[in-house]
Amino acid sequence: MAQASPALPPGISLRGSAARRRRETIVRAVFLGAALTTVVISLFIIETVLVEAIGFLAQIDLSQLIGIGWFPRRGIFDVATLVIGTLIVTVIAMLIATPVGLASAIYLSEYATPRVRRTVKPILEVLAGIPSVVLGFFALTVITPGLLKPLFEDANAFNLAAAGIAVGILSVPLVASVAEDAMRAVPRNLREASYGLGARKITTSLQVVFPAAVSGIVAALILATSRAIGETMVVAVAAGAPQARTLNPLDPGGTMTSAMVLLASGSDQVTGNTAAFQSLFFIGLLLFIVTLVLNVLGDAFVRRARQRY
């Protein structure tokens, strides 16, 4: 700034007092330090998970990664069991969250009066704010005995299907809010052009607004999938524990996340058993990579949706 004022008479400076400038420098440095801690946190997460996961792989025989099921205390770490469990829960969750969430989004964006929106959105926010362990309790005490048992007699008291349904319920507000944002961002003149051609509201919603907002809708579904994969407590409460490899959603089982919580909470033996302890970090690494890829992908779609209009 000082060089940019050659017209000033000599002896006059616009740089202000040295103390003020020094304070300015210190404040900036402190704030930069705070911002950099977020980078340090990421580095710590990656370092922790990588080092222990490599330690785990070095310690076990690789054939231990394939077996009849997930029995970490017996040295059988069949990762496929957990991946299948995760897939079952995620697919069931998305089968619920996709139609319910998208329909809610279309209603809120295209049909609802401002008054309905003002009433319903806070209720969706409350649903989104319920701790997941509470939804797990709901799955265990309401969904399994009240919905699954009457339909399927052989449903276990702890099962993957109930957990999947509850995770789906938990994901509805996320899908609804991201998809609604995308549809509301569609410019009004597209809708008016459609009405001008004589299209009905349903046609306008489904064939004009929905395709125009498709990037944001895809983003909503990807982010919800990532959320469902990372959801932990619902499964840990309602699905029992991972055991032998199973494809049946009515059996008890576990996901990558619930297996981690069960390992940590089962008993203190796990701290003595190094391989079982380190397997925590190995699953954590898989989980971290999968959700990171999905989140980056979802973010890219969100940005594409923003750039469109």
Partner 1 sequence: MSTIGSSSTTTTASVRATLAGGRRGDLPGTVFQVLLLGSLLFSLAVLAILVADVLGRAIPVFAERGLGFLTSPLSSNPAKAGVGQGIIGTAVLGGIVALLAFPFGLMTAVYLEEYAGDTKITRFIQINIRNLAGVPSVVYGLLGLSVFVAFMSAIGDTGSGRNIIAGGMTLAVLVLPIVIITAIEALRAVPNTIREAGYGVGASRWEVTRMLVLPSAAPGILTGTVLALSRALGETAPLILAGAVLGSFSGLNLSTLFSGSYTALPVIVYDWSRKPGDAFRADAAAAIVVLLVITLVANGIAILLRNRYERAW
Binds partner 1 by CB under 8 A, chosen from 5, 8, 13, 41: 41
Binds partner 1 by CB under 8 A, chosen from 260, 276, 279, 305: 260
d(CA 46, CA 42): 6
Would you say 17 or 63 has its CB closer to partner 1?
17
Which has the closest alpha carbon to 136: 222, 240, 226, 221?
Answer: 240
Which has the closest alpha carbon to 108: 96, 117, 100?
Answer: 117
Would you say 41 or 68 has its CB closer to partner 1?
41
Would you count residue 276 as binding partner 1 (CB under 8 A)? Answer: no
First and final CA of the chain: distance in angstroms?
A: 38
Would you say 14 or 61 has its CB closer to partner 1?
14
CA dihedral sign, ordered 302, 305, 307, 309 = negative
d(CA 267, CA 238): 19
Binds partner 1 by CB under 8 A, chosen from 82, 148, 223, 276: 223
d(CA 225, CA 171): 8
Would you count residue 179 as binding partner 1 (CB under 8 A)? Answer: no
Would you count residue 243 as binding partner 1 (CB under 8 A)? Answer: no
Chain positions 65 to 94 lying near partner 1, rule: CB under 8 A, are none
**Least distance (Å) between residue 151 CB and partner 1:** 17
Would you count residue 114 as binding partner 1 (CB under 8 A)? Answer: no
Would you count residue 197 as binding partner 1 (CB under 8 A)? Answer: no
